[in-house]
Chains A and B, each alone.
Chain A
């Protein structure tokens, strides 16, 4: 008798859920951050199904995100169970990921809506006994719950304002009422929502309905993070924007000329003179003022006493200003004397006027401070009527024979006013720098030399021009010369 082999087959199906976050960097780099893997299976009439759902994200300051999600498990026997998770990321990695229980008989994962001033979160959660506004830590610890309200604004005192207009302190205690918003507002169907202007005045703008209303309330100070409003900003569009209501110290940013434009420089901004057609293009011009002085004082002495201190244009606190066009201050301490020693120092420039100072001061920042070659250069900063550079330099061309010069290479700053002013103020610019170098001449009581006739640095000047009164380099012959003095290159930035 031959026994046959008994072979049995068991059917076994699996499905795996993968939950991942995709982080995309500003340079296009991307990272996959795993949150979990869950397997559904079915075998021999036994099965377990798993579903992952209700994933919501909120920014976690500027460090990463907080993710909330639900994992439902349907076993072969018994009832479905739901588990709720909170995870945080840090850069391209998971920082925490754990199951949480925010309220008794929780039915949904918490939906994080705001981040509070102290870094904790506030959101909404449902349970079998009702809906709650809940404040919680990033790891899921419940801080407080408030029934039947929805967070709308996180405030700087670590409190929160609900959609009902009720204000809560850091522990969830009611502290007052702002305005009464339309009950049960819904962003999808309209209604009143907190929004602009740091209070609820005008905050009734409805993203959906487009209806604007004015409701008065006391000023509100937002939490200074990236999620003090639902959706990250007043428009609720999902972009996390840090709320800044106080005047922050403004950083200085350079206002560089756009040298990608066609470079041209013509008198009066025309093709060929005052009777020609004005050019609407942005001019880029170089200009130089220089004087040759016959003095026994060394270039280093002149550099230290007149250029590093900007004495010819320094704000004089006891007498009339030395310069009728402008004066310079140290913006950090206007009473203090200027002493330029390194790149990155900011100088404030105020224009003198006939009867008043019509303009606010504007600023430049030192780029090159070369105590060996006795050169200082600056770049214009945002708000300056010009965009470009200027240098000051003193050097010897013989025994007891020095040249003091300053040159600029610039365009008008942004806007029509600066564009027009570029031409209108040309005379004032030349005059201001002429006075600058003549102040040094007067202080040194030095006669003017005559070796600079017709050329500077080996470059020929156009006829009938005056380096003392200001030479405008319409031909562009001095562009590289000026830029070399500014940054020791023909390409400055």
Chain B
């Protein structure tokens, strides 16, 4: 790993921490990368499956912009958005999904496993709920070392039905650890609407049963997700313990590549598209005078060009080598 690459992921993170305009740019980037991943699948260039998060970009960017690269994040297999928001470059994500050496895991992980220690993203978890207690352990590490680091676990509403979620929340509270649990409630656990699988649809109730500070945030409003997560992170850093945040959001696509999402009621998708997080934030930045409409259009064009370049780099990269396959089974 070269220094240049290190600076690159960290500086990409710092961009969205310091600049609201960069947050819009990053949300566009996430949308375009995920659209491109679906396109690459359609073109037969990727095998296996993928889980995209179109519609949920404001949660990923709110998370990336309100935490430090030295914090630790545990995310799920629906992780392209979070990985990009935290600083991983588009070519590293596209390359990983394609199984190429340029990928952030050298092509050994795939769409469900993205990571970079430089920005604190542990390899994303492909087992529902697995990252929740792992984040508690990372927070325990900060506590034992008396550092002011914070661990974040970000997961979907489906994860709130698995035991590890409850064990993790309970332990975090009992031990008063610096951890923030962010639930992206996109209303579906895989193919099933939340009401059919979950006894409470207001998920903060689950956190309240652990006597944990719990907040609901509009997951389509990046200013809101940023502010809510930032408050929780600040409280954790100050020794105030864990927070549970439910971000009400929506995924425009099915659970995975093979899911056409035919189970959704008519009109539901359109209602959410009317509150698209990228459009909402662009409108807000134009209204405040930070950007003009022309700026927004130019940004979109520029982002598309950058994704084209990233795709070219990813496709030009060789597949993972046989030597890599054997290199890291055990630590030396």
Question: Do chains A and B interact in one complex?
Answer: no
B-side residues, CB < 8 A to A, are none
A-side residues, CB < 8 A to B, are none
